[in-house]
Amino acid sequence: MERNIVYIALFSGLIAVLGLLPKLTLISGIPITAQSLGVMLCGVILGAKRGALAVLLFLSLVALGLPLLAGGRGGLGVFTTPWAGFLFGFPIAAYTTGYIMEKFKHMPISFTASFAAFFGSIIVLYVIAIPYYMIGAKMDFFQSLLTMSPFIPGDIIKCILAGFIANGIHKSRPNSVLSWANSR
Amino acid sequence: MLAISIMGPSWAHNLKIGYKLAALSFISVIIFFINNWLLLSVFLVGLIFLYSSVSLFALRKGILLLRPLIWVILLIWIFHLIRGEYLAGTVTCLRLLVLFALANFVTVTSKLSDMIEFFLWILHPLKLIGVKTSSIGLALGMVIRFTPVLIERAKQLLESWRARALKRTNWRIILPIFITVIDDADRVAEAIRARGGI
Enumerate the domain spans of chain A: 2-176
- Chains A, B: CB contacts under 8 A, how many? 188
The DSSP letter of residue A116 is H
Q: Do B140 and A61 touch (CB under 8 A)?
A: yes
Q: Say yes or no: A59 contacts chain B, CB-CB below 8 A.
A: no
pLDDT score for A183? 45
CA distance A55 to A39: 7
Of the candidates B40, B49, B39, B52, the one whose C-alpha atom is nearest the C-alpha of residue B96 is: B40
CA distance A73 to A89: 18
DSSP-H helix ranges across chain B = 11-14, 17-32, 37-54, 56-82, 86-108, 112-122, 133-164, 174-194
Q: Do B5 and A168 touch (CB under 8 A)?
A: no
ipTM of this complex: 0.93
State the smallest CA–CA distance between residue A132 and chain B in angstroms: 14
pTM (2 decimals)? Answer: 0.94
State the CB neighbour count (10 A cutoff) for residue B96: 22
Q: Say yes or no: A160 contacts chain B, CB-CB below 8 A.
A: no
**pLDDT at A147 exceeding the cut of 90:** no
Q: Confidence class of residue B166 from pLDDT cuts 50, 70 and 90? A: confident
Residues of B in contact with A68 (CB under 8 A): 147
Nearest beta carbon to residue B79 from set A1, A60, A139: A139
Q: Confidence class of residue A180 from pLDDT cuts 50, 70 and 90? A: confident
Q: Which contiguous run of DSSP H or E holds residue A117?
A: helix A109-118
* R_g over Cα of chain A: 16
Q: Which residue of A has its CA nearest to B171?
A: A24
State the smallest CA–CA distance between residue A6 and chain B in angstroms: 6
Q: Do A25 and B192 touch (CB under 8 A)?
A: no
Spell out the residues 6+ positions from residue B91 whose beta carbon is closer than 8 angstroms to its own: B35, B36, B37, B40
Q: Confidence class of residue B180 from pLDDT cuts 50, 70 and 90? A: very high
Backbone dihedral angles phi then psi of residue A24, each to the nearest 5 degrees: -85, 125
Q: Say yes or no: A159 contacts chain B, CB-CB below 8 A.
A: no
Q: Please state the rounded mean pLDDT for residues B68-81.
A: 90
A178 three-state secondary structure: coil
A73 three-state secondary structure: strand
pLDDT score for A24? 58
Q: Which of A:61-120 have CB within 8 Å of B?
A: 61, 64-68, 71-77, 79-83
Single-letter residue type at B122: I
**pLDDT at A182 exceeding the cut of 70:** no
Residues of B in contact with A41 (CB under 8 A): 178
Single-letter residue type at B154: A
CATH class of A2-176: mainly alpha
